[in-house]
Structure 1
Amino acid sequence: MQLKANGQHMVVKSKIENSYDCSCNCFVRNGILCCHALKVMLNDEVDRIPDKYILRRWRRDLVPVECEMRNIFLSKFVDQLQEWDTKIDSELPIQSHAQETTTSIKEFLGVSQLENIDVLPPTGIRNKGYGTGKRLISTAQKAITNGKRQKRKCRLCRQMATHDSRNCPKRDST
């Protein structure tokens, strides 16, 4: 098959070497067999991919025997550490840092901590805009938006303003 301008690739098959070389050079660049060579293998009904196309980094048997011995040693070492940890925990009473601090303050001041605390935080206090989900709008910004509103004639005060008879300031005074 020849290389064409529309993006087709040529796979050269060698029966003697049992190799498949594609013009895309994916195996050479990335170490992964390309789909073009795999398709040719499927057409040839190859049952098993040749070993030279499965690099050492993709194999399960990559871990050497020395590393397995180290893993066994490390697992035994970790087991021994856990055993020592449980033994120390059973022999020594454990106090948290907060408990140690509290006891040292009690000893230093000579006073014990009160059991019942009567002072509570105040309720009903709200900071400006907290929890409303809206930001506070400044008076200057309110004036700008009111200036942009269309003016209409109010029936109560008989003026051209941004309000009408429903929300006229004179309505509350009469």
Structure 2
Amino acid sequence: MRGIIPVDVLHSRHISIGSDSRVDKLSNDVYLEVGQCLMNFKGDEDKITAFLDNIHSWKSNMLSVVSGKLDFTNKDDVIQSLVGVPRPEKIDILPPQGIRNKGCGTSKRLIGAGERAITKSKRPKRLCLGCKEFVNHDIRNSPVRKASSN
């Protein structure tokens, strides 16, 4: 049991996008079989080389049979064949509204966190009894008191 991987683990290795059609199930089975062969041949270079040679010969035979079917003329056809879902007629996804990056060119300047912290740390204005105004000093260091003491 050491060299053999359980089938359930290998089934989850390839997930086809699209409907649960017979073709999707068959392609999943191909992936499963190839994966099991590679796991069983692990460490044996001769068996892996023979397996790879067989795959190359099968591939060349199959491509000669279906060469007319694989005519991808544009990029959309290639992507649709890989994804397995046709391109939608209308795209419903729109860019988000109302996002404003810093420095986006508007006339209002964004204030950073450091500048906000400095403005919040200033002392509140209080009534100075010397000059009778709301200012950032009190009577102890009032300019009126300093002028009268000189």
- TM-score in terms of structure 1 length: 0.23
- TM-score in terms of structure 2 length: 0.26
Higher relative contact order (CA 8 A, sep 6+): 2
Task: Return the index of the structure with the highest Cα Rg.
Answer: 1
